[in-house]
């Protein structure tokens, strides 16, 4: 078992703007310790022994990575070469060839075995060939690791024997699947990443050996996933039925369950030179940025209703995504999301396994995952901003301070308490040490040019020389837009990324406020939740001083996040906590009664009730469910100061700039008998967004007696287009659409309260502009 530990050395790292000393563990000569765990798959760093599957209490699916094949040793082979431990690498290869068996009667994860063991063998083979060609080491090597890799690949192939081509999630290394002795093959579901993270290793195996069968199966699985994407959103779900292709879990994000599927589409293009992979990645990426990305957040959505959030927390696996965005060439959102992740890291010392949108712990574990270090490395490569060296130093310091134990590095059981788990996954040595070493290493310290290789999702090194020209057709140049740009042109000034980072980092800026500003705010009463206005600059400054930050979400809502340590003083922090508590109470009061949707029905010629628009209710004003006839009439006013013109009509209002209750009071004062608020969020629709319920302003709203309804952008546009084409439009505001026969009867009765004409489209917006 390999454990990178032992002596330390000080390494001087010079950036353009600063110089600092870095405490870098685990890079001395005597770093390979096989005493504690070999030949077990993993080290248990608290008890200083190996983890042998079946001898230790089961941890569930986590143990599916263990196959009694010295997992950590194989997973770390190419790390040894990168760290200039060539003699140790040669000894480790000999040990693998001598001791490791791949025909064990054990059920393993196809995904984990592929990326860790098959990838480790292929990465080790790549390094062995490189060293042999250099003429100093591995002169005896005759592709033995490659032969082992092919043996393992053949043992994984039975998992792909499905009608869809998607692999079973598990396979028995000795008996395959579905046989009476296999103890597997009854599963019906697999995760998208599990089926879509095969192509790099299987294609490399095919091209190294000349046997196309592996690449064919991996491409078939990827093709099936692509065909099963949701065609409107171009997103994929998290879990899929391997037989029917039906989505079992329809939430979509870039974290656990999906992450490396997207990664392998782009990297398959880079490694294999097939522009089909790039086309697919670009289509997916556009949808990710449209629906999932809410900079700096990345929030899961539903694939069929992508404007509908699927959860309010994020998992730590999405930390790889800024690094992938660097490869894509989309640097700005990479910087923003990475900065958010860094702030979470500084808050909790490590990225919790999951955290909420206000950066609180959702799942407290941290198994020493490497994804954040990976993205830090790629951002430094792209920008050369020494800031990312500081980030790396923080990661290293925290590992040494909180995770280091006598026999290695222990996973965090709870980042809040600092408690450990007797666990050190193989990816810690395979990925974390690799990316941290690359982050700080000078170019002359590397034994080979890493630009000649692609990193797999387990950070194994596959040579780009594997790329083969499979077609004489010209590539579509449009696919290369914003792909792998020249970062020297993008960032002539290494400090340029700071312009993107500062708005996020300012939320945790601990610098003292200026004296004049402090004196200006001194003695002002604390901000109360019921008085807060999101567009009031004074209120926003008060929030900042209380350590409260405001995040604008894509659906038009705002989210408030409070960190007491970011307040300008202890008193301000207490005010902030009080403000947040008031906000929660206010929100709780407003959400006690979830009202059903309402209807806006166009009843005049030529619609006659055929057009019904779904509208969101207000928690104040007339209750339309208790109205017999509804409110019918109309909007289209010029200036609200002209009360005579507004009187007896419905006012069309644009969302924003003041509270909904305030809008209602304005138009009611002018004599309007109802109001319709139209969302200013372009593209929003009741088809894809949850019902929006307009809340009060924290005060008593009994004085508001007219009905107020909310239309999303799409539905509001239908109403506005009707006004543009038909200068006179009558609408009915009600709790539900009325039967057209009933509408006709009401018209025949000649109800006196119904309006007979409407103003033009331009006048409507003049009303909105001038008054609200």
* 602 and 731 Cβ atoms separated by less than 8 Å: yes
Omega of the bond prior to 296 within 30 degrees of 0, cis?
A: yes
Helix axes 321-328, 331-348, angle to 10 degrees: 160
Residues of each annotated binding site = 457
Omega of the bond prior to 39 within 30 degrees of 0, cis?
A: yes
Residue 672 in tokens:
């309007």
Question: From the candidates 75, 78, 112, 679, which is the catalytic residue?
Answer: 112
Torsion sign (Cα): 568, 572, 578, 583: negative
Q: What are phi and psi of 80, to 5 degrees?
A: -60, -45
* 529 and 586 Cβ atoms separated by less than 8 Å: yes
Q: Catalytic: 112?
A: yes
Residue found by looking up tokens 């340029």 in the block: 496
Torsion sign (Cα): 269, 272, 277, 279: positive
As to burial, measured by CB atoms within 10 angstroms (0-12 exposed, 13-18 middle, 19+ buried), residue 104 is middle
Q: How many residues in total does the chain contain?
A: 772
Residues 6+ apart with CB under 8 A from 154: none
Q: Catalytic: 443?
A: no
* 217 and 201 Cβ atoms separated by less than 8 Å: no
Question: From the candidates 315, 339, 371, 422, which is the catalytic residue?
Answer: 371
Residue 380 in tokens:
């430094």
Residue 570 in tokens:
């202890």
Question: From the candidates 263, 353, 582, 730, which is the catalytic residue?
Answer: 353
How far apart are the C-alpha atoms of 531 and 672, rounded to whole Å?
Answer: 25
Residues of each annotated binding site for Ca(2+) = 457
Residue found by looking up tokens 């319920």 in the block: 693
Residue found by looking up tokens 């030179």 in the block: 273
Q: Catalytic: 531?
A: no
Omega of the bond prior to 398 within 30 degrees of 0, cis?
A: no
Name the CA dihedral angle for 322, 324, 327, 331, rounded to a multiple of 10 degrees: -20
* 235 and 284 Cβ atoms separated by less than 8 Å: yes
* 756 and 634 Cβ atoms separated by less than 8 Å: no
Strand partners, 421: 411
Q: Catalytic: 445?
A: no
Residue found by looking up tokens 């490659």 in the block: 146
Question: From the candidates 64, 259, 274, 315, which is the catalytic residue?
Answer: 259
Please list the active-site residues: 112, 259, 353, 371
């Amino acid at each position: 078992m390999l454990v990178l530990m032992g002596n330390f050395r000080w390494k001087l790292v010079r950036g353009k703007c600063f110089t600092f000393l870095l405490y870098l563990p685990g890079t001395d000569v005597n770093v390979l310790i096989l005493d504690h765990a070999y030949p077990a798959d993993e080290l248990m760093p608290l008890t200083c022994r190996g983890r042998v599957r079946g001898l230790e209490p089961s941890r569930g699916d986590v143990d599916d990575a263990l196959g009694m094949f010295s997992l950590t040793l194989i997973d770390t082979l190419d790390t040894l070469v990168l760290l200039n431990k060539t003699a140790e690498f040669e000894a480790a290869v000999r040990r693998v060839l001598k001791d490791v068996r791949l025909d064990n009667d054990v059920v393993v994860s196809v995904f984990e075995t592929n990326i860790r063991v098959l990838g480790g063998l292929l990465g080790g083979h790549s390094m062995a060939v490189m060293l042999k060609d250099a003429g100093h080491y591995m002169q005896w090597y005759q592709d033995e690791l490659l032969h082992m890799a092919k043996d393992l690949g053949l043992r994984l192939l039975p998992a792909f024997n499905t009608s869809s081509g998607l692999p079973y999630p598990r396979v028995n290394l000795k008996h395959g699947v579905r046989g009476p002795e296999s103890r597997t093959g009854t599963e019906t579901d697999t995760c998208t990443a599990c089926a879509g993270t095969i192509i790099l290793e299987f294609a490399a195996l095919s091209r190294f050996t000349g046997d196309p069968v592996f690449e064919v199966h991996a491409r078939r699985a990827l093709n099936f996933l692509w065909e099963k994407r949701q065609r409107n959103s171009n997103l994929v779900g998290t879990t899929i039925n391997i037989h029917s292709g039906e989505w079992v879990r329809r939430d979509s994000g870039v974290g656990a369950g999906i992450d490396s599927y997207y990664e392998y589409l782009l990297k398959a293009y880079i490694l294999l030179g097939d522009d089909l992979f790039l086309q697919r990645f670009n289509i997916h990426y556009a949808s990710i940025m449209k629906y999932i990305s809410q900079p700096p957040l990345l929030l899961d959505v539903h694939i069929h209703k992508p404007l509908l959030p699927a959860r309010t927390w994020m998992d730590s696996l999405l930390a790889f995504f800024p690094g992938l965005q660097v490869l894509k060439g989309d640097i700005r959102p990479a910087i923003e999301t990475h900065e958010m992740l860094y702030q979470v890291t500084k808050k909790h010392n490590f990225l919790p396994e999951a955290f909420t949108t206000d950066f609180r712990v959702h799942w407290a574990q941290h198994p020493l995952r490497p994804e954040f270090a990976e993205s830090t490395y790629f951002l430094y490569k792209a920008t050369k901003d020494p800031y990312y060296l500081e980030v790396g130093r923080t990661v290293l310091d925290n590992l040494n301070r909180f995770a280091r134990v006598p026999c290695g590095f222990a996973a965090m059981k709870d980042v809040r308490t600092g408690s450990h788990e007797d666990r050190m996954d193989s990816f810690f040595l395979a990925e974390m040490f690799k990316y941290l070493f690359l982050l700080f290493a000078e170019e002359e310290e590397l034994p080979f040019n890493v630009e000649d290789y692609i990193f797999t999702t387990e950070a194994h090194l596959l040579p780009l020389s594997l790329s083969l020209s499979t077609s004489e057709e010209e590539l579509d140049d449009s696919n290369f837009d914003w792909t792998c740009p020249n970062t020297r042109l993008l960032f002539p000034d290494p400090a340029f990324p700071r312009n993107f980072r500062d708005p996020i980092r300012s939320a945790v800026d601990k610098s003292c406020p200026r004296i004049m500003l402090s004196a200006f705010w001194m003695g002002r009463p604390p901000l109360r939740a019921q008085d807060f206005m999101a567009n009031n600059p004074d209120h926003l400054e008060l929030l900042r001083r209380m350590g409260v930050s405001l995040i604008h979400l894509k659906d038009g809502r705002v989210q408030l996040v409070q960190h007491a340590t970011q307040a300008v003083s202890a008193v301000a922090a207490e005010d902030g906590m009080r403000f947040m508590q008031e906000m929660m109470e206010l929100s709780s009061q407003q959400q006690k009664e979830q009202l059903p949707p309402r209807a806006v029905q166009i009843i005049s010629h030529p619609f006659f009730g055929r057009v019904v628009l779904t509208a969101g209710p207000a928690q104040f004003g007339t209750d339309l469910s208790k109205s017999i006839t509804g409110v019918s009439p109309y909007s289209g006013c010029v200036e609200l100061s002209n009360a005579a013109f507004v009187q007896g009509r419905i006012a069309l209002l644009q969302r924003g700039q003041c509270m909904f209750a305030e809008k209602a009071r304005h138009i009611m004062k002018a004599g309007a008998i109802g109001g319709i608020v139209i969302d200013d969020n372009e593209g929003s629709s009741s088809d894809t967004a949850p019902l929006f319920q307009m809340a009060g302003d924290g005060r008593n709203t009994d004085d508001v007696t007219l009905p107020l309804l909310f239309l999303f952008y799409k539905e509001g546009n239908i109403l506005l287009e009707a006004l543009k084409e038909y200068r006179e439009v009558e609408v009915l505001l009600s709790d539900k659409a009325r039967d057209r026969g009933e509408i006709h009867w009401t018209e025949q009765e000649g109800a006196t309260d119904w309006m007979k004409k409407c103003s033009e489209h331009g006048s409507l917006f003049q009303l909105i502009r001038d008054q609200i």
